Amino acid sequence: MKVEAPSPRGLLTSEYVLSLVRADQPIPGPALPELALAGRSNVGKSSLLNLLVGRKALARVSATPGKTRALNVFLWGGRCYLVDIPGYGWSKAGQADRASWRALVTHYVADRPTLQGVLWLLDIRRDPSPDDLAFGALLAERKLPVMPVLTKGDKIGRAQRAERMAAIGRAFGIPAEEMLVTSALTREGQEELREAVLAFMP
């Protein structure tokens, strides 16, 4: 059996740091840039974080949408904090829950001074929802660097891929070549994702 040597990026250590329950709560420890993983509920944010750092279950993945409720902070390679933020658009959440998560996420994205960029996750199979468009407007207002990442690439055939990328690109005004296709299942895009995240850091 051929055993692949781990990539240098794959050897970077990762650890859970803490969960923020307020958007202005400081992270104890070294002052490092923060990069958020954002997107609708169930899009695969926690799975992408695990793919990026090369750990199976560092961030909690769940079949039940709405699992991530706080801003979960992870340190990656001593270089940056990756922040797994609650997903938007979870229709089964109660009104009060939705409002409090929205306030937390909105405040974090709009006002957090240490937030340097956002990995914006979009399901390759879906057209944008009103929540996606509202979140896009929030990102545009803050003028943060945004890296669009398409998730669940394993769920569609190669033939449909270009078509889906073009449709998503048109809907969000993102050039198709700027989008990275990933799969937490097949690990497609893992190295490109690592390179892109490291390149993103100031």
Stretch that binds ligand GTP, among 26-34, 133-141, 148-156, 170-178 (CB under 6 A): 148-156
72 binds ligand GTP (CB under 6 A): no
Residue 187 binds: one of ligand GTP, Mg ion, none (C-beta under 5 to 8 A by kind): none
Residue 89 binds: one of Mg ion, ligand GTP, none (C-beta under 5 to 8 A by kind): none
62 binds ligand GTP (CB under 6 A): yes
**Which of helix, strand or coil describes residue 98?**
helix
**Residue least distant from ligand GTP (Cβ):** 87
**How many whole angstroms separate alpha carbon 195 and alpha carbon 202?**
13
In sequence order, which residues have a C-beta less than 8 Å from that of residue 187 and are 6 or more positions away? 51
Q: 174, 168 in Cβ contact below 8 A?
A: yes
**Which of helix, strand or coil describes residue 82?**
strand
47 binds ligand GTP (CB under 6 A): yes
- Looking at the Cβ atoms of 46 and 183, the one nearer to Mg ion is 46
Minimal distance in Å, beta carbon 43 to ligand GTP? 5
One-letter amino acid of 157: G
**170: enclosing H helix or E strand:** helix 158-172
Show the tokens assigned to 38.
């954002």
Question: Could you list the residues that contact ligand GTP (CB under 6 A)?
Answer: 41-47, 61-63, 65-68, 87, 151-152, 154-155, 183-185
